[in-house]
Amino acid sequence: MRRIAVLTSGGDAPGMNAAIRAVVRTALEGEAEVFGVRRGYRGLIAGDFLPLGARDVGGIIQRGGTMLGSARCPEFRTPEGRTQALEALSRQGIEGLVVIGGNGSQTGAQALAATGFPVVGVASTIDNDLYGSDITIGVDTALNIALEAIDRLKVTASSHHRAFVVEVMGRDCGYPALMAGIAGGAEAITIPEVDCDPEAVADEIRRAYERGKPHALVVAAEGARYNAERLANYFKEQQARLGFELRVTILGHVQRGGAPSFADRMLATRLGAAAAQRLLDGQRGVLIGLIDNAIAVTPLDVVVASKKPLDTALLNLARVLAK
């Protein structure tokens, strides 16, 4: 394989740049040319390619986001869209593709791989909900950002004797909220995977008050049945019984934008390098992830058909430790 392309797709994640850099420089070592694709599958359909040499990926390892841009591209869900992408790849003489992204992006990668075109995926999403990798690119940085925000909110909440709900990202997946809740010392955590009784949340806040805590923290996933807004609405008329005044902070996209942590740079570097190497070695239709701290290669059809389990028993650990 003499010419490959690399794209980033879906939600951006800190570390994507480090992965692009590793793909490019590993492929160059294998004497292949590399093209970057701008704006994910949209750029693939449009044939928006950019030659990438070793110097073009210099100075990006420490930057969040993705130098190639990302996009959502509904056209790629259609066979016509994918045919256009294959034509663009063929016009450019590109023989293989690395797709850096999360669940949706790897579903697109699988659809392209199913046509016979060589595709290798790299596990990257701040939600950590992708089967085939214990941990995905961006998770560590996004969680560190959430924890920094939580730590700061605790300081001000203590001064004012408040309870606060912090909402973290995760539309369908509670991993970020569960982890931020445990590492942030939350009294209660709400996630999409487990039905939550707002009365139990009220009890935890009340107990924190009665134990003499200066504040109480609830971490809510945006996709939980009781996310921040719905919890605030539920308690609107009845704050007095919580003991504390309740305030809400929604972290939203600030969680994405940070400079990648050491853990994310290392993970992205290892996964990106392995993806380029495996593609050049002739593997195709697989996702590169990390399982038990070793590079793991999982067929994309298995990845997209499987759901990564969340250890919801950790909710109980959070409850025990919130004494």
Residues that bind ligand ADP (CB under 6 A): 9-11, 41, 72-73, 76-77, 101-105, 107-108, 111, 125
Q: Minimum CB separation from ligand ADP for residue 234, in Å?
A: 30
Comparing every residue's Cβ against ligand ADP, the nearest one is: 104
Contact 124, 268 (CB under 8 A): yes
Nearest distance, CB of residue 16 and ligand ADP, angstroms: 11
Q: How far apart are CA 80 and CA 74, in angstroms?
A: 11
Task: Supply φ then ψ for residue 241, to 5 degrees.
Answer: -75, -10
Least spacing, CB of residue 41 vs ligand ADP, in Å: 4
Helices (H), 92-197: 103-113, 139-160, 175-184
Burial of 313 (0-12, 13-18, 19+ CB in 10 A): exposed
151 included as an active-site residue: no
In the complex, least distance from residue 116 CB atom to ligand ADP, rounded to whole angstroms:
16
Any idea what the Cα angle at residue 199 is, between residues 194 and 202, rounded to 5°? 105
Dump strand ranges (E) for the chain: 3-8, 33-37, 49-51, 96-101, 119-123, 162-168, 188-190, 216-221, 245-250, 286-291, 294-299
Catalytic residue among 12, 48, 127, 264: 127
The tokens describing 76, both together, are 């790629």
Buried b vs exposed e over 54-80: b needs ≥16 C-beta within 10 Å? eebbeebbeebbbbbbbeebeebeeee
Give the angle 25-26-32 at the CA atoms, nearest 5°.
Answer: 90
Looking at the Cβ atoms of 21 and 82, the one nearer to ligand ADP is 82
At its nearest, how many Å lie between ligand ADP and the CB of residue 73?
A: 4
Closest approach, Cβ 126 to ligand ADP, in A, equals 9
Q: Assign residue 31 a region: left if phi > 0, alpha if psi is -120 to 50, beta otherwise?
A: left
Q: What Å distances lie between residue 307 and 108, 172, 176, 293, 310, CA to CA?
A: 16, 11, 16, 20, 9
Active centre residues (catalytic): 127
